[in-house]
Structure 1
Amino acid sequence: MSLVLCLVLGILASASGQPNARASDLYYTDITPVTDETRYTTLNPDIQLNEMNKVKHSKGNIVFTAGERASGDRMIVNHFDGDSLTSAKDVEVLMSYPAGASTGVTLTSIEVYVDMMADDAGGYLTKGGIGQTHVEILLTSNLTRSFVYETFIYGY
């Protein structure tokens, strides 16, 4: 279903004359098992975590959001990833927009949909954010055997 939605949105963006979102616009890490010594916050002790808005849904689904859609904005990035683990582990994912030295657009909204086999997850902006041209997003989950997420970034 997500793949069909992504394909339809890509076709709509092409038909509207606006540039398509490219996966190369987003840097992201693999879904990485972490320990207390390898957590992002341990390796970057001076980082300020700005918690995203969080809505928990049934069956372990969580939606993290920042900002809101604005008239004239468009989807800049859509990214999906997932992994299953052989045993329950703490995991993290780090995403950065734009990737590399490219120039980003002004961000209006970020939505991250997470499905995992754990009690909770965290979604944080660690750099940049809404109204800026860059953002770094940290996703975390403790003691999960499965972690799947889809990210939508909008801007103009």
Structure 2
Amino acid sequence: MFRVLYLTVAVLGIVTSVTVLGLPHARASDLGYTDITPVTDDTRYTTLHPDVVLTEMDKVKHSKGNVVFTAGGRTPGDRVIVNHYDSESFPSAVDTEVLMNYPSGTSTGITLTCIEVYVEMSADDAGGYITAGGIGLTNVEVLLTSNKTRNFVYETYIYGY
């Protein structure tokens, strides 16, 4: 069964529609996420959800304050489902958390192949965890954490087919 995806593209004031056969429909609004939120020991995700199982994402640290978290890997035929960017600065160093979930509503039926999260911060380290769903499934929840940071910037790419 083929699904039809209709795209509307505006280039130099010309609006056109493109039909792509065989690709399930997904929108950036399919990603739910919290603000980059300062937390205390009492308000951390793991304190509020003590039974959660955290699956640590692969982490590559680059220069100070730059980390890339990944899960899965690119697969022939997959594509970017969601790309999301957010940033926040604070007057003093705080512990922060961000929670993202895909899809934010009902499942779109897209099988996840790869998750990449690029993080830049003033802290020395950060954490990236899958708290539900994951690669090979049609849903995922990702928790990003950082301690003692004055700024936190991240960009997320979720791929699937």
TM over 0.5: yes
Residue 23 (structure 1) aligned with residue 28 (structure 2): yes
Q: Which residue of 2 aligns with 1:67?
A: 72
Aligned residues: 144
Residue 115 (structure 1) aligned with residue 120 (structure 2): yes
Q: Which residue of 1 aligns with 2:52?
A: 47
Structure 1 position 137, deviation (Å):
0.1
Distance 1:145 1:152, change over 3 A: same
Distance 1:150 1:20, change over 3 A: farther
Determine the C-alpha separation between the residues in 2 that align with 1:153 and 1:58: 24
1:100 is matched by which residue type in structure 2? G
Distance 1:88 1:101, change over 3 A: same
Structure 1 position 72, deviation (Å):
0.4
Name the stretch that deviates more: 116-125 or 99-108. Answer: 99-108
Secondary structure, counterpart of 1:109 in structure 2: strand
Q: Which residue of 2 aligns with 1:6?
A: none
Determine the C-alpha separation between the residues in 2 that align with 1:21 and 1:80: 17
1:98 and 1:104 in contact (8 A); partners too: no
Distance 1:56 1:27, change over 3 A: same
Determine the C-alpha separation between the residues in 2 that align with 1:116 and 1:20: 33
Residue 58 (structure 1) aligned with residue 63 (structure 2): yes
Please list every run of 5 or more consecutive structure 1 residues that lacks an aligned counterpart in the other structure.
1-10
Highest CA radius of gyration, 1 or 2? 2
Structure 1 position 100, deviation (Å):
1.6
Q: Which residue of 1 aligns with 2:156?
A: 151
RMSD of equivalent CA atoms:
1.8
Structure 1 position 60, deviation (Å):
1.3
Q: Which residue of 2 aligns with 1:98?
A: 103
TM value normalised by structure 1: 0.87
Determine the C-alpha separation between the residues in 1 that align with 2:52 and 2:92: 29
Once the two structures are aligned, what percentage of the paired residues are identical?
72
TM value normalised by structure 2: 0.84
